[in-house]
Structure formats: C-alpha cells, structure tokens
Amino acid sequence: MLFKETPLGGAFVIDLEEHRDDRGSFARTFCRREFEAHGLETAVVQTNLSVSQRAGTVRGMHYQVHPATETKYVRCTRGAIYDVIIDLRPDSPTYAQHFGVELSASNRRGLFVPRMFAHGFQTLEDESEVTYIVSEFHAPSAERGVRHDDPAFEISWPKAVTVISDKDAAWPVFAP
C-alpha cells in the first residue's frame, strides 16, 4: 500500500500496490501494521456499504462528536465518486479547510478520514458503490453534519446535485 498524506494532517490517500501475473492482480487493501506505521488508527467495529443509483448524488457532510468520534477508511468499489473531507478539529492548523479526491473502481484508491473530519461524496457515475470501514459504531445522538454547499468551505463539486437526502440538505450552516 502506498500512503500519501493530504494537506489536512492525519488524512491519507491510499493507493494499492498491485502484483500482476497471468491470472490478473492481487493487492492488499488494508493492513493493520502498515496503517499503524503511518500513525493511523486501526480499530474496526463495522463495515458499511452505500450504493447510489444516479450520478450527481451527494451524501454528506457527516461526522460524529464525542464520545463517538470515528475514523473512516473509504473506497469506491464500483463506479466513481468525488470524496471530500473537512477538518473540524478546533486546534488544527487546517481547521475548516477541505480536501477532495476522486475514488473509483478503476483507480482503486482509498481515503483515510481522521476523527472530527466531516466526510461526504458526490457520485460521478450511476450505480456507484462505496465501502466504509469505521472505528466506532453509529451513534445517532452523536451524529452531526454541515451543508455540502456551505459558503464557509467553497467546495467545488464536479457535477450539479441530482439527489440529496432531506436530512443532508438541512444541515446547518457552519458556525466556527
């Protein structure tokens, strides 16, 4: 696995090191030792799958607060997404800054999302499938979010929004 730190400290884009032969390829998608060597948390309590039918669908921007803050390791296993994270750690030098990266079935790239980062994505293709490995159980009482179109972040989504849940559209405007 190849780890590349993003401009937001503690968040990494993770590319696979594929080994190819006549049969095809093999690659490790998660390794506790390699994650730990980069200072990343490795607790896994659940794995989630989302499937979005239409390109342009936005899911997010979600996070959980104490005592249920969580890390996520996100990969797109079918289709393609534009994945975005926002640093919401008040003491961070990159507080309220965002980073976006394309994850797709073809580039096989992943994104490690630290605790107290809002996370969301927009599908770039119909029938896109996203897998999340998370370090904490979902806790509805700790769930929070910020608007995907909040002017405080100026996220440039690659497509017009075609589908968004009422809940995601109603997150409050960010107030630092």
Q: Which amino acid would we find at residue 105? A: A
Q: Summarize pLDDT for 129-170 with one digit per residue, the tens.
A: 999 999 999 999 999 999 999 999 999 999 999 999 999 999
21-37 b/e with 16+ CB inside 10 Å = b? eeeeeeeeeeeeeebee
Q: Which residues contact 174 (CB under 8 A, 6 or more apart)?
A: 96, 146, 147, 150, 152, 153
Mean pLDDT of the 11-19 span? 96
Residue positions annotated with a catalytic role: 62, 132
Q: Summarize pLDDT for 54-85 with one digit per residue, the tens.
A: 999 999 999 999 999 999 999 999 999 999 99
CA distances from 90 to 83, 94, 105 (A): 22, 9, 34
**Dist CA 55 CA 14 (whole Å):** 24
Contact 176, 153 (CB under 8 A): no
**Which domains does the chain possess?**
2-17+29-169 (2.60.120.10)
Read off the pLDDT band of 7 (50, 70, 90): very high
pLDDT score recorded for residue 175: 83
Read off the pLDDT band of 176 (50, 70, 90): confident
Q: Summarize pLDDT for 27-56 with one digit per residue, the tens.
A: 999 999 999 999 999 999 999 999 999 999
Q: Which residues contact 33 (CB under 8 A, 6 or more apart)?
A: none
**Dist CA 60 CA 68 (whole Å):** 17
Q: Which residues contact 2 (CB under 8 A, 6 or more apart)?
A: 14, 15, 16, 17
**Dist CA 163 CA 53 (whole Å):** 9
Q: Summarize pLDDT for 92-119 with one digit per residue, the tens.
A: 999 999 999 999 999 999 999 999 999 9
